[in-house]
Structure 1
Amino acid sequence: MSNITPSKTNFTVGLQYRGILEVLLFSAPITTSCCVLLFINGTMLHILRSKAVFRETACYVLLYNLLFADTIQMVLSQLLYLLAACRIRLTYPVCGFLVMLANLTTGISPLTLVVMSLERYIAVCYPLRHASIITIRNTALAIIIVWAVSSLNVFIRLILLLNFQFEDLESLQMKDFCSNTPLLLGPMSDHYDKAYTWVIFVSAGVAVTCSYIGVMIAATSASTDKASARKVRSTLLLHLIQLGLSLSSTIHDPLVTEISKVLDRVTFLRIYSILYVSMILSPRCLSPLIYGIRDQMIRAILMYHLCCRVKL
């Protein structure tokens, strides 16, 4: 027996070392990529607040709101990813606070994309009335409505969560990693989550699609600037893709929860990392790509800051 015990101990230590190595192997590149994206987003947020031309233009104000929500969402998603990768289980109150904050910022993105698409539609289809309709005051009102709708969603989720009989649980310590799915306690919360998700994304998809079709029709008019219409049409198409990727992120948590029940930890971590990058990080990469590279005003200043303020 004395000869078997050390070998079992060495085998267990080896598995633990391999598990730690796997966590570092998959988490380090993803965390590094996320930090790079956060740096780019932070730089763009600084740019959009540092110039008066950006602060006084509606489309850039809306972009700031979108980037701000995406940045917070990225930080929270990365935190939850690291907690899950390290198998750190939180209590229901702590997890609930993080998930509710994530739900708040998640709802901001599709609603802001709708407002941005409508602003571009008006710019092309009603250029003479654009300045009177899309004012800074109206833009600020639209942003307030977006945050109010998303906050109302969080408030309703919180009420449904507080109505659950937590005293029936053995402990407030969660048995699974922190995500939105374990907090859907009861059928009412699950039904509301699905209904809200589909209503928001279907409405947003219809709004962006109609804006895209309207711009296409306006592009055939002789009085429309063809180059401007073509650029706006490409932007709306990218918004539609971004909206689709954001919708795919809503199935991330339930999919991961089901996968974790049938796979071992190492295989689960590999698949979880792939799903996290493709469903969570990818939609948040498009905003800097669409505006940071395609917009000439932002691109010049962004490259200046990213190159340590060295003029190219």
Structure 2
Amino acid sequence: MTCLHCFRNANCTKIVVLLCLTYINKFIFIFCLKCFSKMSYANQSQTLNIINFNITGQQYQGLLERVLFSTLIGMPCCVFLFINGTMLFTLRSKLVFRETSRYILLYNLLFADTAQLAFSQLLYIFAACRIMLTYPVCGVLVMLTKLTNEISPLTLVVMSLERYVAVCYPLRHATIATIRNTAVAIIVVWAISLLNVFTRVLLLLNFPFKDLESLQMTDVCSDIQMLVDPITDHYDKAYTYFLFVSATVPIISSYIGVMIAARSASADKASASKARNTLLLHLVQLGLSLFSNMHTYIVQSLSTTLQRLILVRINSVFYVFIYILPRCLSSLIYGLRDQTIRPILLYHLCCRLTLSHLSKD
């Protein structure tokens, strides 16, 4: 009776209807929530699969690109190392090369270029293979690269002065450009470069490496990673400017002196013209060599505006045109221009084909 009376009451009817609607809404909400969760989980799984696929594709593309760049850079480097090695062997094969001042200086230049090319290629292989070195090992490789890289412009200065003496003071050339004086000049060149490297090492020792958790590097080895202290960066810039000025002024002065001597009536026109072209080539080589010293600052300035992948590609292109090609110019320029070196160099490069052809004739 009580229940029937309650159902007949309008207020009780409203309460029952509200309770039913509440339970129905809860059921619909829970059902939709479960369906939405399943749909979200499915969409999330599909999204994760797409992301994983893209990451795998990017990693594969990065590996393929590294292999492609390493092949395109490694093959010319091996060819140039073979040419430079053959040129070095040629310059030691004859007595006239071992007792002539300009050939001795050329040998020193080629030796520094070949060593610098080998060290640079070794660092490039470490970077391409993502091999992380320790700070001491990286420091030794970078300092050896710096040493051989800075010998080239200083040797070009001595070679330019030798050509200037040969054209402007031909009668005194034999007494000035002796083997002893040439050896002293080479020793001075190496001493200046070694002093610069020793100064860099002292600046590196001021860095608190003992405060680091490990001497293992977190990035690939390069000369940029060795600029660990602002003082080292300032010294590197100052020495680069000093090297640029101290090498450019003598070469330009020698070029102007040879041009003035070529206009005089007593000068040998052919010899002066050849010396002028040689000095012009020295100036081009000096520009490429000094540009390689400024490569670090160019990369640093580009790193603030470009992405890392684009920067790596640009750095690879710079490596080919700044480091590899200039290191082989000396062998090609002097080996093919010099009438004394050319037949012997071609003989060694062509594996005696030239000699057999001449014997048949």
**Number of residues of Structure 1 aligned to a counterpart in Structure 2:** 312
TM-score (norm 1): 0.94
CA distance in 2, matches of 1:177, 1:242: 29
Q: Could you tell me which residue of structure 2 aligns to residue 184 of structure 1? A: 227
* Greater alpha carbon shift after TM alignment, 142-151 vs 83-92: 83-92
What residue in structure 2 maps to residue 281 of structure 1? 324
Q: CA deviation at 1:300?
A: 1.0
Separation of aligned partners in 1, 2:50 and 2:228: 44
Corresponding position of 2:276 = 233
- Identity of aligned pairs, percent? 65
Alpha-carbon distance between aligned partners in 2 of 1:91 and 1:251, rounded to the nearest angstrom: 25
Which of 191, 196, 200 is residue 153 of structure 1 equivalent to? 196
Give the corresponding residue for 1:12: 55
Where 1:296 maps in the other structure, the secondary structure is: coil
Spell out, residue by residue over 1:88-145, the C-alpha distance to the aligned partner (whole angstroms, 9 max, x if none). 3321111100011111111110110010000000000000010011100110111111
Contact 2:155 2:186 in 1 (8 A): yes
Deviation of 1:259 after TM superposition, in Å, equals 4.0
Which residue among 92, 99, 107 is the counterpart of 1:49? 92
Q: CA contact under 8 A between 1:235 and 1:290: conserved in structure 2? A: no
Question: Does the aligned pair in 2 maintain the 1:179–1:253 contact within 8 Å?
Answer: no
CA distance in 2, matches of 1:170, 1:231: 59
| Alpha-carbon shift at residue 214 of structure 1 (Å) | 0.4
Paired with 1:163 and 1:192, the residues of 2 have a C-alpha distance of 14
Residue 116, structure 1, aligned to residue 159, structure 2: yes
Q: Structure 2 vs 1, CA of residues 87 and 197 (structure 1 numbering), >3 Å: closer, same or farther?
A: same
Equivalence for 1:74: 117
In the alignment, structure 1 residue 201 sits paired with structure 2 residue 232: no
Q: In the TM superposition, what are the counterparts of 1:230-269 in structure 2 within 5 Å? A: 230-260=273-303, 263-264=306-307, 266-269=309-312
Contact 2:252–2:283, Cα closer than 8 Å, also in 1: yes
Q: Give unmatched runs, 5+ long, in structure 1.
A: none
Structure 2 residue 136 is the aligned partner of structure 1 residue 93? yes
- Equivalent of residue 137 in structure 1, options 161, 180, 183: 180
Structure 2: segments with no counterpart, 5+ residues: 1-40
Which structure's relative contact order is higher, taking Cα pairs within 8 Å and 6+ residues apart? 1
103, 110, 114: which one aligns with 1:60: 103
The one-letter code matched in structure 1 to 2:329 is L
> Structure 2: which amino acid aligns with 1:176?
D
2:74 equivalent among 31, 40, 43: 31
Separation in 2, partners of 1:268, 1:132 = 52
RMSD, matched Cα: 1.8
Partner Cα distance (2:296, 2:62) in 1:
22
